[in-house]
Amino acid sequence: MNIQNIDINNLPSKASVVRTIRERWDDIVDASGCTQDAKHFLPEKTIEILGRSYKTEKGLDEQAFDDAVGRLTAVAYLAPAFLSGREMCIERTNECTRLCLGRTSGRMVMTQVQEAMVWKTALRFGAPDLYFTLLCIEIKALVKKAKKLGLAPRVRLDGTSDLGDAEKLCTLFPDCGFYEYTKIARRAHRWLDKHPNLRVALSFTGYNKTECIEYINMGGVVAVATDLTRHDAKPATHWGINVIDGDKHDDVSADPRGSIRMLSWKGPRDGLDDAGVFAERIRNAN
């Protein structure tokens, strides 16, 4: 499917797209390469790809941004790693996989949230025409709502995946900001300054420090997870590079060029043992 051929001014109705998805659902799952369990995960009522999270809700506070404009942000959460039966993050490490999926999240014990991630992934791969059309309908509605509220629209398409879909859609919506986090250095380098409304942070994995510093020196932003708690103050610098508090909001496009977006540890403290080199040890460094 050539996404650039989508006419956002002449989109079909959402109801008609949803109806087609329901009619074709079993065939879509068969074509997706995802687990056959996905046939049972499609919601009976509302079908929506974009969602919100606690961290994106923080973007509604304009005081969190230097430009004093709040963000209305929506995120697509697909099935992480191999949860759906398809690989979704080719540069994932053992550490981030353990932290992302947890120890009890195999396909036999899925929560409703995980089921939602799986059916969206099945739609993404089994019927990309319907997936991206529905995405465009939802993004268009988000932009309209943000304008009405006096907010800046923001979209993240790889909330729990690393597929690079933002580049496919950002040119269709020049009035909407897109941002992503990726572990794929070549993608981060390729996207840097390529599109005015797309910003991407390269994620530190514990194994790619050289690539991260190189990206920062080019004017990029690097996201670094640490052992700090939510209540710990962030250091002014790390690796000799200026630090910003990545816990204030999720919007990479608001970050100063050439900086580190430092994140505190969100999970249980004993999870740091699984984190290994993925989480920088800051608390007792001094």
- 80-95 pLDDT, tens digit per residue, is 988 999 999 988 888 7
| Residue-wise DSSP of 160-202 | S----THHHHGGG-TTSEEEEEES-HHHHHHHTTTSTTEEEEE
Are the beta carbons of 258 and 217 closer than 8 angstroms? yes
- pLDDT digit string (tens) for 240-276? 999 999 998 888 988 999 999 999 987 767 667 777 7
Global pTM?
0.89
Are the beta carbons of 192 and 167 closer than 8 angstroms? no
Q: Which residue has the higher pLDDT, 274 or 184?
A: 184
Cβ-based neighbour number of residue 20 at 10 Å: 17
Are the beta carbons of 146 and 152 closer than 8 angstroms? yes
User: Tokens at residue 230, please?
Assistant: 């939510």
Cross-strand partners of 181: 201
- pLDDT digit string (tens) for 195-211? 999 999 999 999 999 99
Distance of CA 37 to the CA centre of its chain: 24
